[in-house]
Amino acid sequence: MSESEDVRYTRDHEWIGGDNPASVGITDYAQRQLGDIVYVDLPAEGDTVKAGEVLAEVESTKNVAQIFAPVAGTVAEVNSTLENDPAVINESPLDEGWIVRLTVAEGEDLDELLTPDEYEEFCSGLGEGELGTDSASGASEDPGFQVVDAEQDASRNAEPKGDD
């Protein structure tokens, strides 16, 4: 997916574009914030998602991030290349690093998402390492991919220790 194609963005740093089914991935900004991506938990083909629901999970050397669907639809295809080479997202987030192809649900309007210029302007207002804030309240908004410290995530998923 190149910048010249009809690509739309979320304030959560996901992108969607192309024909229906549309390709979905994370932006260059998002992959830079995450660092080296080492694992991607892909959905199953045929899964149905609503806009804002968890679509996939990306693990980097320093974070685990949930990726949310930019629009409602059905997963038509997953990028199986990512199972063996998740770093493709770092190398080519808008081309070879797409995560899923989503059959967009009837009635979903991609025009409600950010244009490339609007997304660039949004990102220009963010500091290094900053994922975004709600401009009206100044409160942190959901970054689209919920970033969790990798060590914290590992300890949260560890088996509870029983008394000996």
Q: How far is CA 126 from the centre of its chain?
A: 17
pLDDT of 155 > 60? The answer is no
* Domain contains 80: yes
Query: DSSP string of 14-79?
Result: EEEESSSSEEEEE-HHHHHHH-SEEEEEPPPTT-EE-TTSEEEEEEESSEEEEEE-SS-EEEEEE-
pLDDT of 43 > 90? The answer is yes
Confidence of residue 6 (pLDDT cuts 50, 70, 90): confident
* Domain contains 158: no
* Domain contains 162: no
Type of residue at 9: Y
Distance CA 36, CA 103 (A): 29
Full domain range(s) for residue 138: 7-153
Task: Tally the domains of the chain.
Answer: 1
* Domain contains 133: yes
pLDDT score for 164 = 45
What average pLDDT score do residues 30-44 get?
95
* Domain contains 46: yes
Confidence of residue 116 (pLDDT cuts 50, 70, 90): very high
pLDDT of 154 > 70? The answer is no
The model's pTM is 0.78
* Domain contains 117: yes
* Domain contains 147: yes
Distance CA 16, CA 64 (A): 21
What average pLDDT score do residues 33-59 get?
95
pLDDT tens profile 47-85: 999 999 999 999 999 889 999 999 999 999 999 999 999
The enclosing domain of 131 has a CATH number of: 2.40.50.100
For 109: left if phi > 0, alpha if psi spans -120 to 50, otherwise beta; the answer is beta
